[in-house]
Each structure stands twice: as C-alpha cells, then as structure tokens.
C-alpha cells in the first residue's frame, strides 16, 4: 500500500530525510519505535505522503489518514489566522470544535453519523463540541483531530503518539476502537511506550539516528521481538546526586515557620458559561508532593495557571501563594521567583534557537533565551545538569534542532537549575521515549525525596509514577460536568 525505496524526502529547505527501504503491506500493522530524535516522526510523515520526494521512489495506494502533533499545531495555527480578519473590517468568528471536525463534510451519511456519536461519546467530547476550538486544552484538540481523521475511514491509518495527552478513559476507548477497526484499515503507529503496543501489531520498525536500524517482517510480533525492543528501549540510567545550588541565582526560601506554599478556598472557575470546577479547597505544604489527575478539560492546567498567575481566575478566587494573597498588590515576580515550570504551553512559547547550554543557563535568569552574562560557576552547573540528563554531547546543539522529546528534557533541566520551592510539571513525560522518561521520573524522584523542592505533578499515565509523590488531587470530584 505504501512503498518507499532509496528516497530523499525534503520537508523544508533545511531538513531532508532519507529512507532506504520501507514497505507497508495490506493488513500488516506496523509499530515504529526509537529514542527521541531517532526519526520516528519523520518516517511517519514520509509514509503519510508529506514532504517532497526529491530522489528515489515513493508510491502510495489508497487513502491515508494521519494524526500527529505537527498536524495538531497546524490546525491551531489555521484557526488563529481568523484573528487577522479585522484587517478587512470583518469581525472574526471562532470555529467550534464541531465545525472544525465537519469542515470537509457538507453532509454525513448514516454510517458517519453513527461513527461520530461513537467516537465523541467514547472520547468524552460531548460537553465541549460547541465550544471555541482555540479555547480547548491540548488533549481536547488532539481528540478533535482524531475524530476528524477517523470519520474519513482511510485505508491506511498513520498515528504519531496517538495516546499522548489523552486521559486514561479516552486512551482506553481509543485503544479498543483501533483494535475493533484493525481488520478494515492498515495501521502504522509511532509510539514511545512499549506498554501501548496493541496485540494485533504484525511488524516493528526501529529508528536510530535518523534511519531505520532494524525491522521485522513476520505476521505477528513474537515474544522474542518484544524482548528485543525491551533491550533496545528499556535502558534506564540511574541519576547521580543533583548539582549544587548557585549562590548568586536561586529561588528564595519561604519565611521561617511558614509551612504553607499554596492555599485555595472554595475555588471555582467558569468559562463560556461552563463550570470547569467548583468547591475546591486545597492546600500544599512544604515537602508535600502532589499529583493532580482528571480527564481532559477537568481544570488541571487551569489550576496550575492560577498558581503561576497566568490565569486571571487567580484574582477572582481566595488564593494564597507563597505568603501572598492574590490581588493584594503583589507583583507577578513575587510569585514566579519561587516556581520552576514545565508545561506544553511553555514549551510552545520557547521559540528561540539558542544552544542547549544557553537554554539551561536561561533558567538562572527566568528568561526565554539568554540575555545576561552567566558566571563561570553557573556555566559549570549548567554542564552538570546537561550531563545528568544525558545531553552533555549536545551542549552546542540549537534548541530548535532537537527533537520534541529532547526539547522537553532540556526544559525540565532548565526548570531545576534554581532549585525552586515549587516545581510544577504539567504532563512532563509527553513526547518522551522509554529511556528518557525513566530517567526523568528517577530524577524527579530524587528531587521529591531531597526535601528542598515541592513537586506538583499533572499526568494521565498511571505507570509514570514518581517516588515520593504520594498525595493525589482528583479534579473529577470538583467537576459537575464529568
């Protein structure tokens, strides 16, 4: 159905990808695995027909459906272009999630209507279908793209990290749905978690350093195949002791005798007439590590944004942060100097293309990019953090040249360098392969047990447990819509 032979695919003027030989046959479902930066997403895009085939051969028979983070961002960018409509004296009207899904469907068949109901109910989307697409969470926009693609019933379904960003119930439904339709479409899945490999997968492709390092050709993945993958991908590095705190640039300590970092009383948030959560009374004390759980749209990221001061609901609630009652005249710096943050939205904001070393050094100055002269000691500490993350060989690599997973690792290190009183992690393992995820989780476990930084951790995957994080806030208890 898809055949690529000795083909150079150009995705942009600065990036080309070479595929020696890759064939996708009818009914032979393929899983693509590999470390961050190995080329999984590039291979998936090439199989989907993206990029220009400059040399060699690429043949695609049948229709192809493709879902990836790149498509998700492109869909968001397309919607944001509507904001430019005021140049033509036209009031921009944001598209709803429903309108984005149906954009290419003037009408639906009975089968498509039934499929739409099954998908939106199973993915827990009914409550936000009429909401503005640009106002949706990362997981919700991923669901919109999945439904839009699955409605097309493609001959080949190509999914890049299909479960990333989905809550547990939605991920379980998608897994069951893909198994249900695997007889009617050939599936190619790029995944980071070995636990997510469906039982009906027939072949694997292993990517390494931008090329296919190995692949199987049987009709089913055997135990030997899976053991081979486990040996390749389940290498776990045990982190050493954390680098020391810099004496010039570090997060301040709370006042002596003040154990409370965060306190929210009867918290409530409404958007577009919809209650996200209400009746939430919650307190974080020094040394109490918390995991925040709940489905997409339950208010997890909104709650974190209130704490960091990036959501205006921090002023409409009785919220005390690091000894400051929000709305009492405190500055945003009074709050953020205590916090280290890693999130999907911050990752997207970090668009500068400085070196990996400069990204880490920027953490000392709370800047996006490096604009101050670091000390010799700060450079030494930054190199120690990079070595701890297994990235000391990429000190001079530009940030935008790194894979998504490596960028996330780097931003986690950047958040740690000042030893913050509160380290906020909004799904930090999204996009990370087995090796880097295990390293990050072990590293965060050391921080949790070190007693200096308190962790506030949002994540969907039960397997991504951090040692020492033993308190759980379940947002479904405060969300009447779920």
Q: In the predicted model, is pLDDT for residue 207 greater than 70?
A: yes
The model's pLDDT over 294-308, given as tens digits with 9 standing for 90+, comes to 888 889 989 998 998
Q: In the predicted model, is pLDDT for residue 197 greater than 50?
A: yes
Closest CA to 438 of 409, 414, 417: 409
Instruction: Give the mean pLDDT of 456-477.
Output: 84
Q: Which helix H or strand E contains 237, and what residues bound it?
A: none
pLDDT at 1: 86
Are 46 and 19 spatial neighbours (Cβ–Cβ below 8 Å)?
yes
pLDDT at 396: 94
Q: For all residues of the chain together, what is the average pLDDT? A: 86
Which of 325-329, 351-355, 363-367 is predicted least confidently?
325-329
CA gap 413, 401 in Å, rounded: 17
CB burial string 189-214: b at 16+ within 10 A, e below: bbbbbbebbbeebbbbbbbeeeebee
Closest CA to 79 of 123, 136, 159: 136
Instruction: Give the mean pLDDT of 262-275.
Output: 91
Instruction: Give the mean pLDDT of 211-223.
Output: 82
Residue 245: Cβ-neighbour burial (10 angstroms; 0-12, 13-18, 19+):
middle
pLDDT at 35: 77
Phi, psi dihedrals of residue 385, rounded to the nearest 5°:
-65, -40
* Per-residue tokens: 337: 């100097």
CA gap 120, 140 in Å, rounded: 11
pLDDT at 86: 53
pLDDT at 87: 53
Q: Which fold has domain 260-478?
A: Rossmann fold (3.40.50)
Where residue 143 falls among pLDDT bands split at 50, 70, 90?
Answer: very high
Q: In the predicted model, is pLDDT for residue 180 greater than 90?
A: yes
pLDDT at 237: 41
Q: In the predicted model, is pLDDT for residue 236 greater than 50?
A: no
CA gap 292, 346 in Å, rounded: 18
Same fold, 2-233 and 260-478: yes
Instruction: Give the mean pLDDT of 315-340.
Output: 88
**Helices in 296-351 by DSSP H: which ranges?**
300-308, 313-316, 332-336, 344-349
pLDDT at 233: 60
Closest CA to 132 of 169, 89, 90, 82: 82
Where residue 235 falls among pLDDT bands split at 50, 70, 90?
Answer: very low
CA gap 338, 360 in Å, rounded: 17
The model's pLDDT over 83-116, given as tens digits with 9 standing for 90+, comes to 665 555 555 678 899 999 998 887 888 999 999 9
pLDDT at 89: 58
Listed by start position, the domains of the chain span 2-233, 260-478
pLDDT at 30: 95
Domain range 2-233, CATH class: alpha beta
The model's pLDDT over 145-179, given as tens digits with 9 standing for 90+, comes to 999 999 989 999 999 999 888 998 999 999 999 99
């Amino acid at each position: 159905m898809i055949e690529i032979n000795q083909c150079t695919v150009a995705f942009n003027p600065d990036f080309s990808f070479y595929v020696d030989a890759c064939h996708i046959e009818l009914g032979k479902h393929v899983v693509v695995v590999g470390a961050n930066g190995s080329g999984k997403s590039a291979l998936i895009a090439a199989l989907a027909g993206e990029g220009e085939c400059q040399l060699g051969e690429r043949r695609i028979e049948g229709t192809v459906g493709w879902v990836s983070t790149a498509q998700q961002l492109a869909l968001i960018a397309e919607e944001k272009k509507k904001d430019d409509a005021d140049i033509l004296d036209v009031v921009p009207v944001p598209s709803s999630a429903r309108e984005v899904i149906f954009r290419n469907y003037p009408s639906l068949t009975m089968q498509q209507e039934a499929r739409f109901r099954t998908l939106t109910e199973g993915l827990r989307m009914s409550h936000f279908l009429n909401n503005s697409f640009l106002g949706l969470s990362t997981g919700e926009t991923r669901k919109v793209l999945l439904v839009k693609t699955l409605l097309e019933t493609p001959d080949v379904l190509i999914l890049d990290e299909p479960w990333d960003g989905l809550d547990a119930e939605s991920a379980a439904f998608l897994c069951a749905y893909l198994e249900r339709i695997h007889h009617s479409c050939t599936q190619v899945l790029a995944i980071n978690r070995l636990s997510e490999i469906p039982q009906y997968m027939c072949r694997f492709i292993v990517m390494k350093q931008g090329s296919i390092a190995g692949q199987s050709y049987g009709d089913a993945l055997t135990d030997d195949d899976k053991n081979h993958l486990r040996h390749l991908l389940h290498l776990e590095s045990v982190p050493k002791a954390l680098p020391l705190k810099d004496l010039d640039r570090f997060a301040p300590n709370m006042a002596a005798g003040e154990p409370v970092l965060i306190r929210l009383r009867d918290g409530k948030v409404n958007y577009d007439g919809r209650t996200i959560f209400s009746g939430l009374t919650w307190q974080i004390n020094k040394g109490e590590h918390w995991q925040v759980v709940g489905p997409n749209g339950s208010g997890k990221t909104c709650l974190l944004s209130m704490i960091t001061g990036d959501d205006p609901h921090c002023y409409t609630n009785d919220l005390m942060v690091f000894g400051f009652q929000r709305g009492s005249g405190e500055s945003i710096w009074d709050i953020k100097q205590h916090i280290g943050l890693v999130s999907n939205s911050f990752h997207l904001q970090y668009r500068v293309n400085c070196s990996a070393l400069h990204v880490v050094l920027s953490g000392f100055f709370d800047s996006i990019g490096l604009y101050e002269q670091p000390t010799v000691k700060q450079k030494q500490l930054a190199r120690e953090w990079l070595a701890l993350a297994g990235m000391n060989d990429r000190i001079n690599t530009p940030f935008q040249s790194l894979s998504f997973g490596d960028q996330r690792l780097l931003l986690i290190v950047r958040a740690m360098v000042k030893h913050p009183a509160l380290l906020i992690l909004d799904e930090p393992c999204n996009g990370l392969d087995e090796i880097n995820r295990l390293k990050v989780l072990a590293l965060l476990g050391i921080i949790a047990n070190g007693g200096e930084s308190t962790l506030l951790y949002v994540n969907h995957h039960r397997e991504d447990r951090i040692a020492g994080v033993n308190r759980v806030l379940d947002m479904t208890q405060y969300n009447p819509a779920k």
